[in-house]
Amino acid sequence: MKRDPQTVCIVMIEDDEGHARLIEKNIRRAGVTNEIIPFTDGTSALAYLFGADGSGQASAGRAHLILLDLNLPDMTGVDILAKVKANPHTKRFPVVVLTTTDDRQEIQRCYDLGANVYITKPVNYESFANAIRQLGLFFSVIQLPEAEA
Amino acid sequence: MPVSSTTVTRRTLLMLLAGALTLLAIVAMSGWLAESTRRYSQAVARMTEIRVVAGNLLSQLQDAEIGQRGYLLTGDRHYLQPYENARNAVGGTVARLRRVNEGEAGTAGVVDRIGSLAVAKLEELEQTIALSEAGRKDEALAIVRTDRGMRLMDEARRSLADLIGQADAQLDAQVTAMGEQASLSRWVATLGTLFILLVVGGAVGIVLRYTRELVQAQRAIQILNGTLEQRVSERTVDLQRANDEIQRFAYIVSHDLRAPLVNVMGFTSEFQEGLASVRAHLDRQPAEQDDAVASEAKRAMAEDLPEAIGFIRASTTKMDRLINAILTLSRQGRRTLTPEPVSMQELLENTVASVRHQASELRCAIDVASPLPSLVSDRLALEQIFGNLIDNAVKYLDPVRPGRISVRGRADGNGLVFEVADNGRGIAPQDRERIFELFRRAGVQDRPGEGIGLAHVRALVRRLQGDVTVDSTPGQGSVFRITLPKILTLSPETPAHEA
């Protein structure tokens, strides 16, 4: 992440801790050193992104990249995506949907809602590790928008 | 109480028969009465004739007497005219009287007597007239004075009255009999009419009741029909819902199973990498003799742990394939079917062409019958169905003989029947249902596979509103038979699913 990479946090919303760990390991292997903030459910992730009042003011001035799983225990990731893209303070955060679902309709819906990337988790671990490592490399080259003051 | 149609028919017929018999009786009665009336009118005519003829005879006899008296008094022959006329007529009149009374019992004697009285009277008159003509007027008068003539006349009068009286009595008897008959007929007619009315009324009643019951039954059937359609559509919706539920279930389950599998595989890899680094480290350690622990650790590192990891990997890979199979099936179930005209000849020849290379290596001949009927259905589903069947036929050939696979099809009633026949190893009877179940296989397990193909085939065929069955002789071959509708029509209740 070109623009002052150290200030960009990766918000990882992933209910499966094993997956979260594997993702983190493989992103690190790609040389990404940014802080990764993990959440295992939608409620706590929303609380972090939009603050206690839910206004999104909490995210003003932050630079985040969101890694989002769609299958969460308390809500679907699609709802989180919709909320993030609808809030003025969070709408420019790049959202990478990383999930097991390869349903065509689901993919379309996510892009319609403003998802920036949609990745289906490969079931085979080698492919999975490879995909995450490439994602990490991708993170290191993409340009992120300025954080709003 | 419901009335069966045969009972109604029988009852109605019986009643009509009774009515007809009654009518017949009334008709017979009338005939009898008519006959009786005819006889009565005959009797009346005869009576009238007897009266007339008797009257005539009496007046002729009197005329004759008048003529005799006049002649005897005057001696003038001119007065004899009535006598002459009467004498000529009496014979005819008596004959007529006899004719009228012919065949009547009990009157012959009277008529004979009247006849002889008339003859005697005329003789007496003739005698007196003859004496008078001969100038023996006194002798003639003397005969008159004997009163014989008068007695004869009186007797004739009485006899004629007798005759009339008898005829009268007969007429009376006839009238009485006829009156009795008439009243009997009237009774019969009245009762008969009443009975007929009753019978007809009963028959009409039965028919009306039967008709009413028919109408009620028809209405009940209509209502049942209406609710039946409703029930069927409700049931269809239920089934549809259950089916959707199962599809969704399969989809969700396979998805949720995938996530832990990624972890198992992922951490196994991590473990393997960690193992590799530990092993590299151990290998660098100088080998110490007699160190049992170290050699044990090295052996575990080199053999046991890689073997364990290998089993974990093999199992997870297999599980992954199974989950993928379920996913494919459920996705197939959710795919929208698009019916289009499909040439089965082309489709099957293409399918066979794709396995021909493999088949020729196995010395297997595949022939596709021609011509094959075409249909309107989902092309992709058909390709998958026949692809699987032909693949299976090639896969399970019996190595002891050259393979022969034939694909054929024909129209059958409203549908089409396609057959994929082989001379392969065959399927045991107890396995013929099992092979269509998911993850189930039959026979010697010497070929790769997950037991998915035929489950997939059956799911697809059913979606195409067809059916698949198998006939087989173990050791000789199998015939997979697929029936399909000529034209696949998707019902509007079946909402299309996007996969």
The contacts of residue B290 (CB under 8 Å, 6+ apart) are none
Q: Which chain A residues contact residue B498 at CB under 8 A? A: 104-105
**Residue B291, pLDDT above cutoff 80:** no
Among A102, A75, A55, A77, smallest CA distance to A11 is for A77
Q: Please classify residue B49 by burial: count the beta carbons closer than 10 Å to its beta carbon, then call 0-12 exposed, 13-18 middle and 19+ buried.
A: middle
- Which of A88-97, B121-130, B293-302, B317-326 is modeled with the greatest confidence? A88-97
Position B284 confidence tier, pLDDT thresholds 50, 70, 90: confident
**Residue A41, pLDDT above cutoff 60:** yes
CB-based contact A143:A2 (threshold 8 Å): yes
Residue A96 lies in a domain: yes
Query: For the stretch A128-147, what's the b/e string if a residue is b when 16 or more beta carbons lie within 10 angstroms of its beta carbon?
Result: bbebbbebbeebbeeebeeb
Among B426, B422, B419, B413, smallest CA distance to B369 is for B419
CATH code of A135's domain: 3.40.50.2300
Helices (H), B101-147: 108-133, 137-145
- Give the residue from chain B lying closest to A72, CA to CA: B256
- Amino acid B210 reads Y
Helices (H), A32-124: 42-50, 77-86, 104-112
Q: What is the DSSP letter of A8?
A: P
Position B492 confidence tier, pLDDT thresholds 50, 70, 90: low
**Dihedral sign from CA coordinates of B143, B144, B150, B152:** positive
Domain with A84, as residue range(s), is 5-141
What would the pLDDT profile of B69-82 be if each residue is shown by its tens digit?
888 888 888 888 88
Phi, psi of B95 (to 5 degrees): -60, -40
Residue A147 lies in a domain: no
Predicted local confidence at residue B219, as pLDDT:
93
Number of folded domains that form chain A: 1
> Could you count the other beta carbons within 10 Å of the beta carbon of residue B241?
10
**Residue B497, pLDDT above cutoff 50:** no
**Dihedral sign from CA coordinates of B238, B241, B245, B251:** positive
* pLDDT (mean) for B451-463: 88
Determine contact: A120 vs chain B, CB below 8 A. Answer: no
Position B494 confidence tier, pLDDT thresholds 50, 70, 90: very low
Q: Mark out chain B residues that contact chain A at CB-CB < 8 A.
A: 255-256, 258-263, 265-270, 320, 323-324, 498-499
Determine contact: A53 vs chain B, CB below 8 A. Answer: no
Predicted local confidence at residue B389, as pLDDT:
92
Residue B349: left (phi > 0), alpha (psi -120 to 50), or beta?
Answer: alpha
Residue A81 lies in a domain: yes
* pLDDT (mean) for B298-325: 86
Q: Which chain B residues contact residue A24 at CB under 8 A? A: none
Q: Which chain A residues contact residue B266 at CB under 8 A? A: 18-19, 22, 125, 128-129
What would the pLDDT profile of B175-207 be if each residue is shown by its tens digit?
888 888 888 888 888 888 888 888 888 888 888
- Can you tell me whether residue B404 is helix, strand or coil? strand
Cβ separation of A100 and B320 shorter than 8 Å?
no
Mean residue pLDDT across chain A: 85
Distances B333 to B123, B251, B469 between C-alpha atoms, Å: 141, 10, 20
Predicted local confidence at residue B495, as pLDDT:
47
Q: Which of A101, A104, A124 sits opposite B265 (nearest CB)?
A: A124
Token code pair at residue B341: 């005209």
Residue A148 lies in a domain: no
User: Rounded distance, CA B483 to CA B466, Å?
Assistant: 5
Residue A57 lies in a domain: yes
- Give the residue from chain A lying closest to B265, CA to CA: A125
Enumerate residues 72 to 101 of chain A having a beta carbon within 8 A of any beta carbon in chain B.
Answer: 100-101
Position B288 confidence tier, pLDDT thresholds 50, 70, 90: low
User: Rounded distance, CA B39 to CA B37, Å?
Assistant: 5
Determine contact: A133 vs chain B, CB below 8 A. Answer: no
CB-based contact B398:B425 (threshold 8 Å): yes
Q: Which helix (H) or strand (E) holds A149?
A: none
- Amino acid B163 reads L
The contacts of residue B129 (CB under 8 Å, 6+ apart) are B68, B71, B72, B80, B83, B140
Distances A143 to A2, A93, B132 between C-alpha atoms, Å: 6, 11, 189
pLDDT greater at residue B313 or residue B101:
B313
Predicted local confidence at residue B400, as pLDDT:
86
Residue A110 lies in a domain: yes
Q: ipTM for the complex?
A: 0.72
Residue A86 lies in a domain: yes
pLDDT above 70 coverage of chain B, percent: 96
Token code pair at residue B60: 């002729």
* pLDDT (mean) for B22-27: 86
Q: Which of B258, B269, B499 sits opposite A123 (nearest CB)?
A: B258
What would the pLDDT profile of B91-150 be if each residue is shown by its tens digit?
888 888 888 877 776 777 888 888 888 888 888 888 888 888 888 888 888 888 888 888
Cβ separation of B263 and A101 shorter than 8 Å?
no
Token code pair at residue B139: 């002798």
Residue A149 lies in a domain: no
What would the pLDDT profile of A43-68 be if each residue is shown by its tens digit?
999 999 998 888 888 888 888 899 99
* pLDDT (mean) for B226-230: 87
Predicted local confidence at residue B408, as pLDDT:
92
Mean residue pLDDT across chain B: 85
What would the pLDDT profile of B329-364 be if each residue is shown by its tens digit?
777 777 788 899 999 999 999 999 988 888 888 888
From the candidates B251, B253, B254, B255, which should be mutated to test the interface with A, based on the most A CB atoms within 10 A? B255
What would the pLDDT profile of A87-143 be if each residue is shown by its tens digit?
988 888 999 999 887 778 889 999 999 999 999 887 677 788 888 889 888 888 887
Cβ separation of B255 and A101 shorter than 8 Å?
yes
Query: For the stretch A113-126, what's the b/e string if a residue is b when 16 or more beta carbons lie within 10 angstroms of its beta carbon?
Result: bebbbbeebbbbbe
Q: Please classify residue B262 by burial: count the beta carbons closer than 10 Å to its beta carbon, then call 0-12 exposed, 13-18 middle and 19+ buried.
A: buried
**Residue B3, pLDDT above cutoff 60:** no
